[in-house]
Structure 1
Amino acid sequence: MSGFPAALPESRVPDSRDAPILNWGIAGPGWIAERFTESVKAHSTQNITAVGSRSAARAAEFAAKHSIPASHGSYKELAQDPDVDIVYVATPHPQHFDVAMTAIEAGKHVLVEKPMGITAEQVRAMVQAARAKNVFAAEALWTFFLPKFDVITQLLESGALGTLVNVLAEYGEHFEPGHRIFDPALAGGPLMDLGTYPLAFATRVLGAPETVAAIGTAHPAGVNSQLSTVLGFSSGAQGIVNTQLYNFTPTDAVVTGTEATLHIDGPFNMPGGFTLRHFDGRELRYEDTPGAHFEGLHYEAAAVARSIAAGLQQTPQRPLEDTLTTLELADEIRRQTGIEFPDTAKRKQKP
């Protein structure tokens, strides 16, 4: 272990404009696709060449709004577009599997919005298909691609916190009635929309848990409204995760070690700062302008482009093994709390 550092390490994340250029196809012209498109166009040199939707009108409208050359009225057409190198899957959660598999079968690389699938089984099938087609596949969990998280990774790997003993992470938001998070058919509830972030963070820091104890509360709409989970790890470390859809919370994350504590400013999953505090009172502060999707989504696109140019089939920032660990944990939480999602593990129809 290196001990408490004299200064924080520098971020190793390069300028997104320096990444090799890929031709991107957008699958699903919704809210997150719009944020992704705006961020990539403003902060990188990646080329968005096409958009696809089950609605030709929606695809055409999105393409016109964002000056995208081509639009398609099906995900199959998008996947078969010869001018598309990689498909960014930004559909509702239950559609991720089918749309990603359609792109993979067409020989396209895929970057799939979080959660990559609604079950670990789906992700395993995607990975197997991508390997068979020799294409790239990754989960677009943008937090881990941010410059601040590269600095955090260096601190954790260097042993600056000492032996890690605890992770606390939470994420809550307020949603108006009618939002898709209240729709059971769309894998509603906070687990996949919000909970992916604290679950992924806890498992990124401490690995796969050995024990899981979860409780949940039902919502009148027929989805889960709140989850709290205690995690136990073979090292003796523990984790506590909470997510809910009632109201906004600080969205804090704290990692405690025997030497120092890392407190990431809320919302921890977005651009912003953090403090590393030694037990003797010494502090190191990482300052970063707080931001949201516009300021951050371009980093994942650039990292993916670099990975593909290097011949990789996944990203080091969010390895597929980590994605599977998070989905396996989510599966166990659903099992313990009785949450049911639509069964889309088997492809019932082509998109």
Structure 2
Amino acid sequence: MERPVRWGVLATGGIASAFTADLQGLPGAEVVAVASRTLASAKGFAGRFGIPRAHGSWAELAADPDVDVVYVATPHAAHRAAAGLCLEAGRAVLCEKAFTLNAREAAELAGLARSRGSFLMEAMWMYCDPLVRRLTELVRDGALGEIRTVQADFGLAGPFGAGHRLLDPAQGGGALLDLGVYPVSFAQLLLGEPDRVRADARLSPEGVDLDTSMLLGWESGATALLSCSVTADTPRTAAVTGTAGRIEIPRGFFQPERFVLHRDGREPEEFTAGQYGGGLHGMQYEAAEVMRAVRAGETESPLVPLEGTLAVMRTLDAVRERTGVRYPADTGPAGDRG
């Protein structure tokens, strides 16, 4: 029997709760510690999930010798500091998305992990979902021919009151980093980093994006039409169209229950989550991939490689450059992407 992989959870919000619930149902995983900025919050979370140790600071969790992997579940404005602290302490890290506020911070974390020989992965759980992996295999095996278009959207209706983090530039507010990261990551999973980025957005009085539309282009001629919103409940669907067919994913494309493959001259083929896994919140797959990689002595996951994460962050920077969204953490304008 392999020794359990011992997890620490950094932060105690909703995403941390969902991940911890999934983790506790995963064979070989053991949640041994949780940390928050306040000991009271950490103790409350530990009590709910039966976690043996609660820390009142991030540094205490990072220094905990019984922790193998830290799951960073803070809002993304704190990812650079929290993940960096854990990497410097020698911990493997699974960091929520958006990975950081900008590509510069993402490159700093990747560089730190590589210099330390430590494992680091973005918690882009969509990439580890078995049904998404099956879709990706079909596309790469040529089931659709040459990809011509990708479409995806993710929007929530809100409203979000004054002072909410989604309206605060200092906290990386706006639709793009919270929601737009999913459509962008989906398109780049299939097509890689785009060669051209166009974007338009409606901004809040605080200067964050409320609704953003993106048009990405590749030298192959492929395009992706993507959108995100914190003012409208969009369909949250995705479609991939190629020269020989298309794949349609209904609502919830980032954790699909099913998708349908349409090919010329053939009956539509439906693929369902029940064929490949399913259950819980869907985060157990990324946790299982982290555990596999850590046990194998790997410092990156082939399913969620750091270069892919950095490429997505460069695209998000380019979108913000075109729409005029700036965060205090930005040291200057994002690089021109054409």
TM-score range, shorter chain: over 0.9
Report the Cα offset of residue 256 of structure 1: 0.5
- 82-91 or 243-252: which moved more? 243-252
Specify which of 16, 24, 34 is matched with residue 41 of structure 1.
24
* Number of the residue aligned with 1:66: 49
* Number of the residue aligned with 2:292: 306
Aligned length: 328
List per-residue Cα deviations over 1:197-253 (Å, max 9, x = no partner): 000011111111111111010124542101101111010111111101112222111
* Number of the residue aligned with 1:144: 127
Once the two structures are superposed, the pairs formed by residues 1-351 of structure 1 within 5 Å of their partners are 21-178=4-161, 179-288=164-273, 294-343=280-329
Q: Check whether the contact 2:249–2:256 (CA below 8 A) recurs between aligned residues.
A: no
Q: How far apart in 2 are the matches of 1:183 and 1:279?
A: 48
Q: How far apart in 1 are the matches of 2:255 and 2:248?
A: 14
Q: Check whether the contact 2:23–2:287 (CA below 8 A) recurs between aligned residues.
A: yes
Report the Cα offset of residue 288 of structure 1: 2.4
TM-score by structure 2 length? 0.92
Which is bigger in relative contact order (C-alpha 8 A, separation at least 6)?
1
Instruction: Rate the CA distance shift 1:99–1:145 in 2: closer, same or farther, 3 A.
Output: same
Q: How far apart in 2 are the matches of 1:73 and 1:344?
A: 29
List per-residue Cα deviations over 1:302-342 (Å, max 9, x = no partner): 11100111121111111111101110000000111111123
Q: Check whether the contact 2:170–2:329 (CA below 8 A) recurs between aligned residues.
A: no
* Number of the residue aligned with 1:3: none
Q: How far apart in 1 are the matches of 2:205 and 2:4?
A: 47
Letter in 2 for 1:24: W
Letter in 1 for 2:310: L
Q: How far apart in 2 are the matches of 1:21 and 1:315?
A: 19
SS at structure 2 position matched to 1:250: coil
- Greater than 6 Å deviation, 4+ residue runs: 290-293
Report the Cα offset of residue 182 of structure 1: 2.2
Q: How far apart in 1 are the matches of 2:23 and 2:237?
A: 27
Q: How far apart in 2 are the matches of 1:64 and 1:229?
A: 43
Q: Give identity over the alignment, percent.
A: 38
For structure 1, which runs of at least 5 residues remain unmatched after alignment?
A: 1-17, 346-351
Letter in 2 for 1:115: A
Q: How far apart in 1 are the matches of 2:211 and 2:298?
A: 38
SS at structure 1 position matched to 2:7: strand
TM-score by structure 1 length? 0.89
CA RMSD in angstroms comes to: 2.0
List per-residue Cα deviations over 1:274-316 (Å, max 9, x = no partner): 0000133531110226999943011110111001111211111
List per-residue Cα deviations over 1:66-90 (Å, max 9, x = no partner): 1101011111110000110111000
SS at structure 1 position matched to 2:114: helix
SS at structure 2 position matched to 1:195: helix
* Number of the residue aligned with 1:11: none
For structure 2, which runs of at least 5 residues remain unmatched after alignment?
A: 332-338
Q: Check whether the contact 1:25–1:87 (CA below 8 A) recurs between aligned residues.
A: yes
Letter in 1 for 2:157: H
Q: Check whether the contact 2:63–2:89 (CA below 8 A) recurs between aligned residues.
A: yes
SS at structure 2 position matched to 1:243: strand
Q: How far apart in 1 are the matches of 2:328 and 2:206?
A: 15
